[in-house]
């Protein structure tokens, strides 16, 4: 019997081509679209975007074209608990969450994996841009061939043992090649536009969502203060700002001012110069390691502190199973609590953790 | 493929297809045309109207062909409401089909009052509760003869007697009941039917209206259906529907045996962990068995069965096809998990005992395999 593989299909071009490649590789492919969230405006409203009827229809048509069985399944409870609730809590606590990484760990490669097992599947395939290769009998997660599209950052928290059950078929392709493949196969989604935002809070809608879902009184307007503590403006709540933010603060002209610190307790947001945004290192918690042996202090790696960050050279200060501290060789701009710090050895993902705080020069053995 | 989803739709009967084909291929005329092609079509539609009326024991003149059950329910509710002019009051239950509940919700937004009566844990509404809910402002009572999800049959005769005594028209949604129980429209003033639930084609249904009852049309622009539903008739559809109705009366005997097969299926499932029967033991459509497997996602079970060539439905599904907590099961007092993890097996006249045994074994092996995996604690 052929090996059965569940393909997580969103209706987008990447997961559609992933499905096609799984079929081409000879697996028995089963498409599953995950209903994760209720789009605003009632039952599966909206022409596009998260979990809209149109996206599910696109996925269904692609699966039909590829001759795969296809099912839409309800994961709204799991998504609410594992992704949306922590998202709200993080923003309300003055941090800037990364919901995609949590979704990957708990929903796609958690809840969906268990569902896939119930259907007798031995693996899950997704449209993520990342490469998974077996080296010496061990699965190794690497950056995608298309560096501009690489999504390995969002995959750092996947359980190590789960890697054996994952397939990222488009990880070897560039986005252009993915679109070409889709067009060559006549998939109706070949030219479909990209979605890169937080799927359940597109645009700048996350502020309203957090305000709506947080406990009453949890988020409130507060003061913007400068580096000397002088009140220079107002903000609508700590959940509406992020470390490094410059635009939308209402501070007018003059010197460029950035958000440099957020205190959820007092609802005070500190702004300052770009220099004040530079950290000497960072401390991360809830680490997840994708290598058999943890890196030892002194190991030189590359760290990425947000998804669009190209990476910076860093040295490991200390590592415990649950957390780590690193020193950045040339400093890190806008280290943002709540985001992930992902460590790379070349293009291999070593592991990562959630940023707890930035470290100053004195904390990394400098200055 | 073993098809146990007859409450969703039924295969079109061969006789129905044969009867329809001439009206697609040869007699394509418009029934309103004066020439022979038109006349042929007109006579076919009227013959079909009589066949539909015969199934429910009503006058052919009361039959309005519609695009299906949903339009029939909408026309009954909207048609009576518009004819009554000022906003009034409607009585219904919490477990009606959404093609009844949604038009009622719109009336509510337009100033009408709607009483949605609760049901007991078998899904049955108390006729006394209907009597108590009727007020001088009540313009309509609308009750489903049998529930599509769980199969509960309502005491329509008693409800009809109450409505008649109080002078309130009763609309009965008989879409799921037709073809499975004997339908007599005597208790009702309006009655909805759908062709594709009884071996007819999709896209045609009927609303029977007691002669003399005032009904405002929804579709305007032609005198078809005695001015109550404008639009060129779906001739082939009506012909197929008529034949399906004629066959349904004859097939009632064959359908009754399905109760035995349904219980055979229940026997195969009843000792599975977390199983809960949602369909009532008595007073249930003979073909319907709704079961919750507590903790086992209906989505997963539907998919796993489909991969084995067995077609069933989750209790309630969203527009995209994912399972959702059923408002019917919630009304029965089931907690949310049970209300979402419900599976509906709906048998048809062609269902065999061998198929039932295969389905029972498949469900057992899927549910038990998962139990073993959980017990073993192996996730990899």
pLDDT band at A53 (very low <50, low <70, confident <90, very high): confident
Tell me, what's the pLDDT at A112? Answer: 97
Contacts with A71 from chain B: Cβ below 8 Å: 299, 302-303, 306, 321
Tens of pLDDT, residue by residue over B250-290, are: 889 888 899 999 999 999 999 998 999 999 999 999 999 99
Residue of A nearest to B321 (CA): A72
Tell me, what's the pLDDT at B375? Answer: 62
Tell me, what's the pLDDT at B321? Answer: 80
Residue of B nearest to A34 (CA): B322
pLDDT score of A367 more than 80: no
The predicted complex's ipTM stands at 0.87
Percentage of chain B lying above the pLDDT 70 cut: 97
pLDDT band at A168 (very low <50, low <70, confident <90, very high): very high
Q: Does B304 touch chain A (CB under 8 A)?
A: yes
Compute the C-alpha angle B54/B59/B62, nearest 5°.
115
Q: Does A43 touch chain B (CB under 8 A)?
A: yes
pLDDT band at A44 (very low <50, low <70, confident <90, very high): low
Q: Does B126 touch chain A (CB under 8 A)?
A: no
pLDDT score of B373 more than 70: no
The arithmetic mean of pLDDT across residues A75-85, rounded, is 94
Tens of pLDDT, residue by residue over B184-231, are: 999 999 999 999 999 999 999 999 999 999 999 999 999 999 999 999
Tens of pLDDT, residue by residue over B107-163, are: 999 999 999 999 999 999 999 999 999 999 999 999 999 999 999 999 999 999 999
Tens of pLDDT, residue by residue over A319-356, are: 987 799 999 999 999 999 999 999 999 999 999 999 99
Tell me, what's the pLDDT at B253? Answer: 86
Q: Does B311 touch chain A (CB under 8 A)?
A: no
B321, A71: Cβ pair inside 8 Å?
yes
User: E strands within B154-298?
Assistant: 170-173, 190-194, 205-209, 275-277, 288-293
Is A100 catalytic? The answer is no
End-to-end CA distance of chain B: 32
Q: Does B379 touch chain A (CB under 8 A)?
A: yes
On average, the pLDDT of chain B sits at: 95
Q: Distance between CA atoms of B29 and A163, rounded to whole angstroms?
A: 64
pLDDT band at A38 (very low <50, low <70, confident <90, very high): confident
Residues 6+ apart with CB under 8 A from A269: A222, A223, A224, A225, A235, A238, A241, A259, A261, A262, A263
A190 CB neighbour count, 10 Å cutoff: 17
On average, the pLDDT of chain A sits at: 92
Contacts with A57 from chain B: Cβ below 8 Å: 320
pLDDT score of A183 more than 80: yes
Half-sphere exposure (Cβ direction) of B371: Cα atoms closer than 13 Å: 12
Phi, psi of A271 (to 5 degrees): -115, 155
Using CB atoms, which residue from A57, A119, A165 is nearest to B304? A119
B319, A44: Cβ pair inside 8 Å?
yes
Tell me, what's the pLDDT at B378? Answer: 43
Residue B145 near residue B283 (C-beta atoms within 8 A): no
Contacts with A51 from chain B: Cβ below 8 Å: 320
- What distance in Å separates residue B10's CA from the closest CA in chain A? 21
Nearest to A348 by CA among A146, A156, A103: A156
Q: Does A45 touch chain B (CB under 8 A)?
A: no
B380, A164: Cβ pair inside 8 Å?
yes
Residue of A nearest to B337 (CA): A77
Q: Distance between CA atoms of B158 and B349, rounded to whole angstroms?
A: 29
Q: Does A112 touch chain B (CB under 8 A)?
A: no
Q: Does A80 touch chain B (CB under 8 A)?
A: no
B303, A72: Cβ pair inside 8 Å?
no
Tell me the two tokens of residue B68.
């299906």
Identify from A51, A71, A80, A114 which residue to disrupt to test chain B contact, counting B C-beta atoms within 10 A and taking the largest count. A71
Residue of B nearest to A28 (CA): B307
Q: Does B374 touch chain A (CB under 8 A)?
A: no
Residues 131-170 of A with CB under 8 A from B: 161, 164-165
The arithmetic mean of pLDDT across residues B93-98, rounded, is 97
Tell me, what's the pLDDT at A89? Answer: 95
Tell me, what's the pLDDT at A49? Answer: 55
Using CB atoms, which residue from B299, B369, B380 is nearest to A73? B299
Contacts with A115 from chain B: Cβ below 8 Å: 297, 299-300
The arithmetic mean of pLDDT across residues B87-100, rounded, is 97
- What distance in Å separates residue B375's CA from the closest CA in chain A? 14
Tell me, what's the pLDDT at A6? Answer: 98
Contacts with A72 from chain B: Cβ below 8 Å: 299, 318, 320-322
Using CB atoms, which residue from B320, B369, B379 is nearest to A53? B320
pLDDT score of A204 more than 90: no
pLDDT band at B377 (very low <50, low <70, confident <90, very high): very low
Using CB atoms, which residue from B307, B323, B373 is nearest to A119? B307
Q: Does A115 touch chain B (CB under 8 A)?
A: yes
Tell me, what's the pLDDT at B211? Answer: 95
Instruction: Kindly report which listed range (A151-165, A238-252, A289-303) carries the lowest average pLDDT score.
Output: A238-252
* β A300-304/A340-345 pair status: antiparallel
Q: Distance between CA atoms of B8 and B1, rounded to whole angstroms?
A: 16
């Amino acid at each position: 019997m052929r090996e059965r593989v569940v393909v997580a299909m969103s209706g987008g071009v990447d997961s559609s081509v992933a499905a096609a490649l799984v079929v081409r590789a000879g697996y028995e492919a089963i498409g599953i679209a995950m209903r994760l969230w209720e789009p605003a405006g009632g039952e599966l409203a909206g022409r596009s975007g998260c979990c809209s009827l149109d996206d599910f229809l696109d996925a269904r048509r692609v699966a039909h074209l590829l001759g795969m069985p296809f099912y839409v399944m309800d994961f709204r409870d799991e998504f609410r608990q594992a992704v949306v609730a922590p998202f709200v809590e993080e923003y309300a606590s003055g941090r800037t969450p990364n919901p995609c990484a949590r979704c990957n760990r708990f929903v796609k490669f958690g809840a969906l994996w268990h569902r896939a097992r119930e259907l007798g599947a031995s693996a899950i395939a997704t449209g993520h841009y990342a490469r998974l290769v077996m080296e010496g009998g061990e699965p190794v997660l690497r950056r995608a061939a298309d560096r501009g599209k690489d999504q390995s950052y969002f995959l750092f928290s996947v359980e190590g043992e789960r890697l054996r059950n994952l397939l990222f078929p488009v990880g070897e392709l560039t986005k252009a090649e993915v679109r070409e493949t889709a067009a060559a196969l006549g998939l109706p989604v070949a030219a479909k536009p990209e979605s890169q935002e937080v799927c359940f809070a597109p645009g700048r809608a996350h502020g309203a969502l957090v305000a709506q879902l947080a406990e009453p009184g949890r988020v409130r307007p507060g003061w913007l203060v400068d580096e000397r503590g002088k009140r220079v403006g107002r903000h609508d709540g700590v959940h509406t700002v992020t470390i490094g933010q410059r635009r939308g603060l209402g501070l007018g002209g003059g010197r460029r001012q950035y958000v440099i610190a957020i205190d959820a307790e007092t609802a005070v947001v500190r702004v300052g110069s770009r220099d004040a945004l530079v950290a000497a290192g960072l401390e991360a918690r809830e680490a997840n390691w994708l290598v058999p042996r943890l890196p030892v202090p002194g190991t030189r790696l590359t760290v990425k502190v947000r998804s669009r960050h190209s990476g910076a050279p860093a040295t490991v200060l200390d590592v415990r199973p649950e957390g780590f501290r690193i020193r950045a060789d040339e400093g890190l701009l806008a280290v943002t609590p709540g985001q992930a710090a992902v460590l790379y050895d070349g293009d291999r993902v070593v592991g990562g953790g959630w940023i707890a705080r930035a470290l100053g020069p004195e904390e990394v053995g400098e200055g | 493929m073993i098809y146990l989803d007859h409450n969703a739709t039924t295969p079109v009967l061969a006789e129905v297809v044969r009867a329809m084909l001439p009206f697609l291929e040869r007699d394509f005329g418009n029934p309103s045309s004066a020439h022979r092609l038109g006349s042929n079509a007109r006579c076919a539609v009227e013959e079909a109207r009589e066949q539909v009326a015969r199934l429910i024991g009503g006058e052919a003149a009361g039959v309005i062909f519609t695009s299906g059950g949903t339009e029939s329910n909408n026309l009954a509710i909207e048609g009576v409401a518009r004819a009554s002019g000022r906003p009034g009051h409607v009585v219904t239950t919490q477990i009606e089909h959404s093609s009844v509940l949604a038009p009622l919700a719109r009336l509510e937004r337009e100033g009408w009052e709607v009483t949605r009566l609760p049901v007991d844990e078998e899904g049955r509404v108390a006729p006394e509760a209907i009597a108590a809910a009727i007020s001088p402002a009540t313009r309509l009572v609308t009750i489903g003869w049998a529930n599509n999800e769980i199969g509960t049959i309502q005491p329509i005769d008693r409800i009809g007697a109450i409505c008649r005594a109080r002078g309130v028209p009763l609309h009965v949604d008989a879409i799921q009941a037709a073809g499975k129980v004997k339908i007599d429209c005597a208790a009702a003033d309006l009655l909805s039917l759908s062709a594709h639930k009884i071996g007819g084609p999709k896209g045609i249904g009927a609303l029977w209206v007691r002669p003399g009852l005032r009904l405002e049309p929804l579709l305007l622009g032609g005198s078809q259906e005695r001015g109550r539903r404008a639009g060129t008739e779906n001739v082939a559809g009506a012909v197929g529907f008529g034949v399906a109705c004629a066959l349904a009366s004859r097939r009632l005997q064959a359908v009754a045996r399905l109760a035995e097969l349904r219980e055979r299926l229940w026997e195969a499932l009843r000792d599975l962990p977390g199983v809960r029967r949602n369909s009532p033991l008595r007073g249930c459509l003979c073909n319907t068995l709704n079961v919750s497997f507590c903790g086992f996602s209906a989505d997963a079970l539907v998919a796993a069965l489909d991969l084995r060539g067995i077609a069933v439905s989750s209790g309630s599904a969203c527009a995209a096809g994912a399972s959702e907590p059923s408002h019917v099961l919630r009304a029965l007092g089931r907690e949310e998990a049970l209300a979402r993890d419900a599976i509906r097996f709906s048998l048809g006249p062609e269902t065999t005992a061998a198929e039932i045994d295969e389905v029972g074994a498949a469900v057992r092996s899927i549910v038990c395999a998962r139990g073993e995996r959980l017990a073993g604690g192996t996730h990899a």
